[in-house]
């Protein structure tokens, strides 16, 4: 029913009153409707603001901020300037300190099982008896029982799939030692009874003569598990067994059990570039199963 129909039977005074009442009523209703919308909008905005601030607050745990990629490249952090070997973002490669004498670090799940299998597949058709760096005046024949594994060298450029490149890049990231200082990968296979007697990876000049560069560190990636034996062993760990009576064939001291995909880094040199005698190490004989490992020797100068 329209307003004019409602007012039809009324006197002019009553009509004026009714109009005034209708007008007031309409005005109040529309104001109430507007007010309701405003209250709803306000509640909505309040909810959104509360949600955003609570998700920001949850990024603080026990006073320590959980660092996400997003926060790190936002304006909240001024990332430090970086040189050739630095990073412009922070990502973490988990590791465990194993020893300080020698300085040794363990990297669980450093490579994937697929990467390990790929490296084995690349190496297995080219294996030859592993060689030794000969000392001054020494013959290969004299030392033939020191290292009995089979092995081959692989360089990044031989692998078009990019797996070796990715592993080498990750080693560079973990060690912050530049890739120009790296020797090629040395893939090794030890079968039953095969081993590598204790030795230093660095070359003492009094034994090997003057060197162009020195091995600073070694990064191993275990490509297989070994059921029994095959540990990388450090007989002089923490200065033990260094009284001169140690038999270099003996598998004693700190022993690292190979586990497929895990990485292991140790330093052969002290920070002052002298040789750390506690970096003496070897590979214990495999007692059950077979051991595959890849070695990356890192020099103190360009090796390319
Ligand atoms: O096989 C290992 O665990 C160690 C290898 C090694 O000593 C080396 O390649 O220098």
Say what the pTM is: 0.74
Ligand 1 nearest atom to the CA of residue 199, by list position: 7
Q: Bigger pLDDT: 36 or 153?
A: 153
**Last residue of a domain, which of 28, 49, 82?**
82
**Last residue of a domain, which of 37, 56, 82?**
82
* Domain match, 104 and 160 both: yes
* Domain match, 143 and 165 both: yes
User: What CATH number does the domain containing 207 carry?
Assistant: 2.60.120.620
What residue owns the CA closest to ligand 1's atom 2?
Answer: 283
What residue owns the CA closest to ligand 1's atom 8?
Answer: 295
**Span 65-111, pLDDT tens digits:** 444 444 444 455 566 677 766 677 777 899 999 999 999 999 999 99
* Domain match, 186 and 212 both: yes
47 is a domain residue:
yes
* Domain match, 272 and 164 both: yes
250 is a domain residue:
yes
* Domain match, 122 and 205 both: yes
Q: Which residue range is the domain that position 208 belongs to?
A: 96-299
88 is a domain residue:
no
The region of weakest confidence among 34-43, 45-54, 200-209 is 45-54
User: What is the tally of structural domains in the chain?
Assistant: 2
The four Cα atoms 139, 145, 146, 152 give a dihedral, to 10 degrees, of 90
Q: What pLDDT is recorded for position 36?
A: 72
Query: Which of 267, 294, 300, 301 has its CA nearest to residue 153?
Result: 294
Ligand 1 touching residue 281 (CB < 6 A): yes
**Span 99-144, pLDDT tens digits:** 999 999 999 999 999 999 999 999 999 999 999 987 777 776 667 7
> Angle at Cα 287 formed by Cα 285 and Cα 288, nearest 5°?
135
* Domain match, 66 and 150 both: no
* Domain match, 233 and 122 both: yes
CA 251 to chain centre: 30
Joined together, the tokens standing for residue 47 give 């909810």
**Span 148-205, pLDDT tens digits:** 999 999 999 999 999 999 999 999 999 999 999 999 999 999 999 999 999 999 999 9
* Domain match, 133 and 254 both: yes
Average pLDDT, the chain: 85
Ligand 1 touching residue 296 (CB < 6 A): no
91 is a domain residue:
no
Joined together, the tokens standing for residue 74 give 């936002």
**DSSP of 174-239, one letter per residue?**
HH---GGGBPPEEEEEE-BT--EEEE-SS--HHHH---SS-EEEEEEEE-S--SEE--EEETTGGG
Q: For helices 163-175 and 113-123, what crossing angle results, to 10°?
A: 120
In the predicted model, is pLDDT for residue 4 greater than 60? no
Q: What pLDDT is recorded for position 103?
A: 98
**Hey, how many other C-beta atoms are within 10 angstroms of the C-beta on 179?**
16
* Domain match, 182 and 262 both: yes
**Last residue of a domain, which of 20, 53, 82?**
82
């Amino acid at each position: 029913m329209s307003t004019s129909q409602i007012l039809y039977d009324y006197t002019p005074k009553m009509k004026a009153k009714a109009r005034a009442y209708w007008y007031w009523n309409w005005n109040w209703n529309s104001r109430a409707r507007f007010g309701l919308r405003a209250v709803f909008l306000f509640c909505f905005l309040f909810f959104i603001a509360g949600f955003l601030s609570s998700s920001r607050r949850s990024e603080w745990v026990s006073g320590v901020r959980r660092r996400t990629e997003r926060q790190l490249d936002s304006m909240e952090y001024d990332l430090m300037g970086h040189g050739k070997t630095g990073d412009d973002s922070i990502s973490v490669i988990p590791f465990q300190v194993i020893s300080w004498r020698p300085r040794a670090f363990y990297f669980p799940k450093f490579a994937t099982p697929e990467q390990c299998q790929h490296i084995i597949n690349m190496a297995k058709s080219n294996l030859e008896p592993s060689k030794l760096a000969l000392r001054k005046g020494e013959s290969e024949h004299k030392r033939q029982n020191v290292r009995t594994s089979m092995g081959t060298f692989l360089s990044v450029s031989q692998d078009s799939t990019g797996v070796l490149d990715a592993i080498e890049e990750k080693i560079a990231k973990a060690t912050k030692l530049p890739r120009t200082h790296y020797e090629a990968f040395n893939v090794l296979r030890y079968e039953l009874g095969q081993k590598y007697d204790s030795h230093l990876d660095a070359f003492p000049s009094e034994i090997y003569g003057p060197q162009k560069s020195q091995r600073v560190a070694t990064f191993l990636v275990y490509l297989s598990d070994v059921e029994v034996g095959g540990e990388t062993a450090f007989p002089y760990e923490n200065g033990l067994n260094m009284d001169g009576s140690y038999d270099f064939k003996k598998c004693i001291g700190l022993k690292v059990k190979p586990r497929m995909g895990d990485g292991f880094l140790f330093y052969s040199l002290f920070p002052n570039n002298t040789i750390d005698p506690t970096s003496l190490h070897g590979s214990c004989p495999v007692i059950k199963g077979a051991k595959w490992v890849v070695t990356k020797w890192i020099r103190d100068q360009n090796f390319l």
